[in-house]
Amino acid sequence: MAADSDGPVRSAETDKLWNETSVDPVELHLGKDSGFTLRAYRMSDTLPGAKTAPEPEPEEEEDVEEPRGKHRDADDAEPEDEDAPEPDAADFADEEEEAADDDEDALDAEPEEVPVFLTRKGKLLVFREAEALVEYVKANDDHDLAAIEEYAELQERLTAADIACDEDDIYELDLVVANLRGGQEGWEPELLIKAAEVGRDLGYALKNDSIIASLAPGSPLDDLDETFRVVVDGGMRGRFAKRRLKRSDSQQAAIAWRGVIAKINDHVEWRG
């Protein structure tokens, strides 16, 4: 089973591996199960599919039914208004320029740092045993994490002893709903901040719009997350944030988080 937060201490060699490959092992606790996966952060323009122009959709011809017994031909067409002004070629030039700008924006979108997990066909691969994770990585490259430049090096160097997670990379999502339902006095900001962090990462990596929307800027869960961060920072703003927390609806927050965790669970593929 996955190690707890008091698990093995990382060796200097393990730290060197993760630092040089810019990958980290992640420990996830989800309900009755827990296990390990891998996560990296990379610039979006270094990953497959970056800066691809959208293919134009073929225009569909409207099937217009002609009135029975009547056939309109060129002689029946309504005559053009001879007094109508000629179209200005500059208008068409402006439209073409705007369309070109839109295509260029799609191609030249500003690169951003994005999370990449051990995901395959819309599923997050999570391994209950460190040895199983290492065996899979060494034998497979048909998943999303294989797109990073350092993957071949990771395959060569990774051992089971290296699957020792930093405390910041251990996410106890199984405790989130119970903690929220316990009332504001018992809320653990660090637990809930980390849950929002990995939730956003997984929503992006799994391309799940529902998870993304639940934690998007301006959403109730995002507002709660921001308040927790202010509380952790302390000071005068932290005291005001604590007052705001008292007005939060803990039951609604728990229900919302239960939905997010259920969606994450739906996209997890557990391995040995």
Fill in the DSSP letter of residue 243: H
In a domain, 100, yes or no: no
What percent of the residues of the chain are helix, what percent strand, and what percent coil, each to the nearest 5? 50, 15, 35
Where in the sequence is the domain holding 222, given as residue range(s)? 12-48+112-271
In a domain, 245, yes or no: yes
Listed as ranges, residues in the chain with pLDDT below 50 are 1-5, 50-78, 80, 92, 106
Q: Which residues have a Cβ under 8 Å from the Cβ of 222 and sit 6 or more positions away?
A: 196, 215, 216
Q: What is the pLDDT of residues 225-256, one digit of tens each?
A: 998 888 877 766 666 666 777 777 888 999 99
In a domain, 64, yes or no: no
In a domain, 86, yes or no: no
In a domain, 80, yes or no: no
| Domains identified in the chain, total number | 1
Q: What is the pLDDT of residues 174-221, one digit of tens each?
A: 999 999 998 888 889 999 999 999 999 999 999 999 999 999 999 999
In a domain, 87, yes or no: no
